[in-house]
Amino acid sequence: MKHKRFLSILSLSFLAACSLASCGGGDEPGPGPDHDPDPTPTEPTVENPLVVDEITADSEGVKLVAPFTIYTEDGGTPEELEYNTETFDSNVFENMYEAIRVAGANSTNANKLQVQDANHTQIFIRQKASNWFVFDGHDYIGTDSQTTCKEYIDSHPNAYGIYGQGSGYAYLGREDYVDEMELSETQLELNAGAYNYMFSKNGVGAGENGQSLNGFSYVTATVRMSEMRYRPATDGDGWNAYIFINLRAGIISDLGLIGNLMSDNTVQWRLVRNCTSTSHGAAGFLTFPEKGIVNQSTKYDAETGEYYGFDDLYFEACGLSNGWLLNITNLRTGQTYSLDERHYESDGVTPLVENPDPIYYQALIASSYCPVVGNVWNWDCGAATTNVLWENITMQRYVDDNIETYRNGDDSLKYKFTPDSEYLRDGYSQGAFAASYEFGVYEEDGVYASGATYKKGDTYLSQSVSYTNPW
């Protein structure tokens, strides 16, 4: 900081005389106001925490230490803390995400709450939403403007930003399947936890030779769940694992499986759909326990806390002008589990044609592990579905609403869908601190845990989600 000094003529004369005297070889001047040595840094305290309010591309993170305590702005203890219907009898939390979630929910502009770790590093205090709090894994990077924070996260896949009001995640680091993609960030799902998505391109109007090319409405794939490991969450918030194919044109629907640990210690995978058709009303998301358990296992690895021993499955999803068809066949039992979702006007007879232009049909291959709780969900929940292994993903363009058209289609109309395919629009592991993928080629023949075989040269896509295991 620059300080201005205003000196009188008398003062200047006095200073000149002192200067002449010192030239005569008098004593060296002692330390003055401008020569004081650097003061000894003070240790952070509750009232004076460590605040990092500037982020650069090479910012180094602060190692955080539990527990995490919620304080008032001046370092006092909040009178009362609530979240949803729960009232807390303590302002101290072992989990930093829960602490930020609760502090954000109880803060106002007139009552700003903060969160400090055990070393009094301030990792949250209510401020304007456009300022983010950035973490890289478990390390705290700091708080800064949206633009600066986004630049840091874009170059650090394990990083993520929390809104300045603690209302949820503003941005998540990502691992992209390819360098050049047609990704629109508006489609990113910030409250859906960590997930792996691979989107096809849609169709083309006035495409080859001036002809329109319909998009991809029919997808088949083998999912080697025999190679997968499942670990349940331990934080009590509620988490759902998903493996699905999504088909979209005018409307959108996730079609596949939801996985959960049941009360009898069996991990069960049941049919689920999440459809945006107006015909469903508020029941767009729906599970179908009455159709049976598609896949299940009680095999448990006590060392890792993981369940294994699931069956391999064959997925078949078909998009129609007014709905969807889904068939999942258990390759061990031979049993097929089906959904036939048709949408109709209120009379129940007239088709509700919500996919009127098949040019826009698009396919998505996905696996995820999603929180039920909103706001700042917990990266330390321990949940995992690792090595969801997709094999022989094949797509066909829309022709008509008859599934047999595709089953009996010519091989020349069937397109292999992989991360290196020309039909890839984008693919990524969102929330790369927990989500990851591997695309590769088998170097030799081999056998899966299910007994099925693979050949040298076959390709595979492995998708995983693994939140930090707190055990």
Residue pair 133/127 in contact by the 8 Å Cβ criterion: no
Angstrom distances, CA of residue 240 to CA of 156, 262, 273, 404, 448:
27, 12, 13, 33, 26
Model pLDDT, residue 36: 55
Predicted local distance difference test score (pLDDT) of residue 181:
84
The confidence score (pLDDT) of residue 207 equals 75
Give tens-digit pLDDT for 199-223. 999 999 877 778 889 999 999 999 9
Half-sphere exposure of 397 (CA within 13 A, CB side): 16
Residue 394 CA, chain-centre distance (Å), reads: 26
Closest Cα partner for 355 from 342, 369, 338, 346? 342
Label each residue of 268-313 as H, E or C.
EEEEEEEECCHHHCCCCEEECHHHCEEEEECEEECCCCEEECCCCE
- Nearest alpha-carbon partner for 354 in 324, 323, 325: 323
- Cβ(244)–Cβ(366) under 8 Å? yes
Query: What pLDDT, on a 0 to 100 scale, did the predictor assign at position 187?
Result: 82
Residue 296 burial by CB count (10 A; 0-12/13-18/19+): exposed, middle or buried?
middle
pLDDT of residue 206: 79
Q: How close are the terminal C-alpha atoms of the chain, in Å?
A: 50
The rounded mean pLDDT for the chain is 91
Low-confidence ranges of the chain (pLDDT < 50): 1-32
CA distance 443 to 106: 55
Residue 35: the pLDDT is: 54
Identify the pLDDT of residue 471: 63
The pLDDT assigned to 258 comes to 98
In whole angstroms, give the CA distance from residue 79 to residue 89: 10
Instruction: Give the β-pairing of 362-371 and 81-83.
Output: unpaired
pLDDT at 205 (0 to 100):
85
Q: Among 444, 374, 425, which Cα is nearest to 169's? A: 374
Rounded-to-integer distance, Cα 208 and Cα 61, Å: 52
- pLDDT at position 231: 97
Which burial class, exposed, middle or buried, applies to 471 when counting CB atoms under 10 A from its CB (0-12, 13-18, 19+)? exposed
